[in-house]
Amino acid sequence: MNTFCTCRRITGTKKKICPEENEADDNRDDDETERDGGCSDADHAKQEEIESLKKQMDVLRKKLKDAEEENVQLKEKLKKTEDEVKLVKNMKRKTDASDGNQKKNNSKGEFAVGQKVWALYTDEKSYPAKIIACNGESYKVMFFEDKIQHEVELNGLRPFGKQLD
């Protein structure tokens, strides 16, 4: 990459006139311009340092952008993990509540459509459900959490308000 100073001295193939130069400088003859050489070596060093700092800033801006994108991804991952933890805690609470549950018949012997109950699922654990149909000795229930519909015998149901044993 060709660089250039802000004076009339050329480095590489580009040339730029110093903005500080005024009309009085333009009236100098070419011999005088070549004699003082435009910018000093210190000016050139400063210009090179500025260019280097600009490149470093560009690199840092890219790193910052990448870090911000990674931060967004990590926040999304954290949210998903928190949701999974809530689900696991909820399922554990249900499992703990149904452990040791004995199959007892409802004292009335029947439940009503629309009633909330604890219903025994195929894993032998009880989960909150709603009765959606009565078929004689069995009831069709819909479990609240996953909306699965399942046939449950009368001895697999408990009133929702009763504490499980």
DSSP H stretches of helix in 7-40: 23-26, 30-36
d(CA 144, CA 154): 19
- Residue 101 contacts residue 126 (beta carbons within 8 Å): yes
CB atoms within 10 A of CB 83: 10
Query: In sequence order, what are the residues at sequence separation of 6 or more whose Cβ sits closer than 8 angstroms to the Cβ of residue 157?
Result: 106, 111, 117, 118, 119, 120, 131, 139, 141
Tell me, yes or no, whether 126 and 75 share the same domain: no
Q: How many domains does the chain have?
A: 3
46 located within any domain:
no
Mean pLDDT estimate for the chain: 76
- Residue 152 contacts residue 162 (beta carbons within 8 Å): no
- Residue 123 backbone dihedrals phi, psi, to 5 degrees: -85, 10
Q: What is the mean pLDDT of residues 79-89?
A: 88
pLDDT at 111: 86
- Residue 21 contacts residue 33 (beta carbons within 8 Å): no
Tell me, yes or no, whether 93 and 122 share the same domain: no
Residue with tokens 């600009």: 54
Tell me, yes or no, whether 59 and 28 share the same domain: no
Q: What is the pLDDT of residues 92-146, one digit of tens each?
A: 777 666 544 433 334 445 788 999 999 998 898 999 999 999 887 789 999 999 9
Tell me, yes or no, whether 155 and 108 share the same domain: yes
48 located within any domain:
no
Tell me, yes or no, whether 91 and 139 share the same domain: no
Q: What is the pTM of this model?
A: 0.34
44 located within any domain:
no
Alpha-carbon radius of gyration of the chain: 40
d(CA 78, CA 72): 10
Q: Which of 26-35, 64-73, 122-131 has the lowest mean pLDDT?
A: 26-35
135 located within any domain:
yes
Which position has the higher pLDDT, 150 or 29? 150
Tell me, yes or no, whether 90 and 128 share the same domain: no
Q: Which structure tokens are listed for 101?
A: 């549950």
Q: Which of 76-80, 97-101, 150-154 has the lowest mean pLDDT?
A: 97-101
DSSP 164: P
Which position has the higher pLDDT, 16 or 160? 160
Residue with tokens 């629309």: 114
CATH number at residue 112: 2.30.30.140
Residue numbers of the domain that contains 94: 54-98
49 located within any domain:
no
pLDDT at 46: 92
45 located within any domain:
no
Q: What is the mean pLDDT of residues 7-32?
A: 48
